[in-house]
A and B are shown apart, each in its own frame.
Chain A
Amino acid sequence: MFDDLGRDLRLFYLSQIYSFKGELTYRVSFALWSINTFVGIFLSYLFITIMYSLSAGIAGWSYYDMLMLSATTIIISNVVQYVINVYSTGRMLLVGGLDIYLTKPISTLMIFFGGPKSVTSLGGAIGGIVLFAYGASGAGVGLWGIAGFALLFALGSIIFILFMLVMLMSAYKLFRGGGWMNWIMSILGNATKYPLSVYGTIGPLIFTFFIPLGIATYYPVEAATGKIGALQIAALALFSVVVIVTLRKTFYLLFRSYESGMG
């Protein structure tokens, strides 16, 4: 089992190296994508600053809390984009591009994770961390807050990635399509960059139990800012593990419907 894990990790590492080399071949494109990423982060910061200069903002959420939430969304969406390229993987499924990988001794999940990487996504995640650090220092987040954040964020990231894989396989199984998966990812990212409380009582329920992305964005920031305590963090962590196991099983179940070739 550990041999398999070692092999998969080495493969993941190699796929990153080749993606880095490939992307850095086109330096101008790389520079432009990087600038674009940072412009996006700066405009998010500007939007929140304008929103809070015009109004009292969102009840229970200070300016710095909102910066942290926006930064967390930026980090998670870039991490997900880095680990799995939803668009190209969707295309690969449709044209039978997975066939050749299925004949190799690689775990199924690694086929999805080992695809081309967007190096600029890594830059975006770093930019998000800088914004988060700024927000956290303004909000006066302590070490325990950061620890609670890190735990829920790590589990939430795994949930987000597995959720996107399940969505991808569902789109393939139901519609033999999914060119709109990037849109779904962007809309879910947009929806979770605001406190879930804005959607009333139903919002947190939907984004926890049905589309469990709040676990990756909303709850980690709530943990960091002390809006939820240690007991609630532990309960959320336990719930996250259950969600991870369920999503993983669902993914493998859906993957059985993959048909070779032009399926």
Chain B
Amino acid sequence: MKEYAIGFGINRYLSYSRLLIKSSFAYKTDFAIKLLLRIANPIIMLFVWTAIYSATHTSAINNFSLYQISIYFFIIAVVNSVAPSVSWAMAGDVRSGGVFTSLTRPIRYVSNVFTADATGMLVDTLTLGLPIFILLYFFLHLNLTLLSASLFLLSMGMMYAIAMMIEFLLGFFSFFTTDIGGIINMAYFIISFFGGGFVPLNLLPPSIAHISSVLPFQFMIYFPASILTGAVSPSQLFSMFPLAALWFVALLAANFVIWSRVRRHIDAVGV
């Protein structure tokens, strides 16, 4: 059983990762177009919020200036390019029967999925996230200090860990029902709304903001996006760590319990 333990056989995952990186760079035009599409949404939001601020004749709505809100939506584009998406991969594996093939290989299925996603994350960070960040720094004059950059990286780590746990939970649904696209999309809508993807959480009505403040979704969008806007102070971020850690542990435990049941339930379709 030793070769199945984490830490052992790491070279297998590294080789797999190298292979994935090569195949990712095979479609260079796709990369260029994806980058353009990634920045399209924040640009649309920039126009919309400029019109809203102009019609409202104010420099700040709920202490959020137009400059802050512009930065906010661009950073969401960076966050989205780094966010995991293992649920779609798992749904595809179950439908195609690929999960069954994976189980016969000397690598863990879950680790295999994680490796593929982490590799994708690395590639997307460098090719999509970083260029957007550079554009933001030079064109919107992002105020970047060592502290804010460190806190941003920390919050991105927090985002990735919690998002990964939620993604795996969503992916496990595919073992119980044929098509989980509806569940995944619905979850994305809810995460985006309660996480601050539609509007920053401090602009939401107090009742909805209160619900958001106890959910884990705020760590997936609002916190990483707000740190660089200055809307969230370092002390606020640190005070949220226990809640983030609690959510991570709870989601991790839920993943372990569900995966142990899923393994007994595996029924590859192969359609």
Contact = CB atoms under 8 A, between A and B. Distances in A.
Given A177-B27, A180-B30, A198-B47, A50 B179 contact: no
Interface in A31-47: 31-36, 39-40, 43, 46-47
Q: Among A32, A46, A50, A195, find the residue whose CB has the most chain B CB atoms closer than 10 A.
A: A32
Contacts of A24: none
Contact of B56 (A33, A34, A55): A55
Given A29-B179, A191-B44, A57 B29 contact: no
A2 interface: no
A66 to B, nearest CB: 11
A246 B12 CA distance: 55
A257 interface: no
A57 B51 CA distance: 8
Interface string B176-196: 011111110110011001000
A58 B205 contact: no
Interface string A59-82: 100000000000000000000000
B50 interface: yes
Interface stretch (A99-107, A149-157, A182-190): A182-190
A26 interface: yes
A29 B44 contact: no
Given A36-B182, A180-B33, A58 B177 contact: no
B143 interface: no
Contacts of A180: 30, 33-34, 37
A128 to B, nearest CB: 16
Nearest to A192: B44
B51 A58 contact: yes
Nearest to A29: B179
A31 B179 CA distance: 11
A183 B37 contact: yes
A130 interface: no
Given A46-B193, A50-B199, A175-B29, A32 B180 contact: yes
Contact of B205 (A31, A53, A179): A53
Contacts of A35: 182, 186
A40 B52 contact: no
B198 A43 contact: yes
9 contacts: A26-B178, A28-B178, A29-B177, A29-B179, A43-B189, A56-B55, A58-B48, A177-B30, A190-B44
Interface of B: 27, 29-30, 33-34, 37, 40-41, 44, 47-48, 50-58, 61-62, 177-183, 185-186, 189-190, 193, 198-199, 203-205
Interface of A: 26, 28-29, 31-36, 39-40, 43, 46-47, 50-51, 53-59, 120, 175, 177, 179-180, 183-184, 187, 190-191, 194-195, 197-200, 203
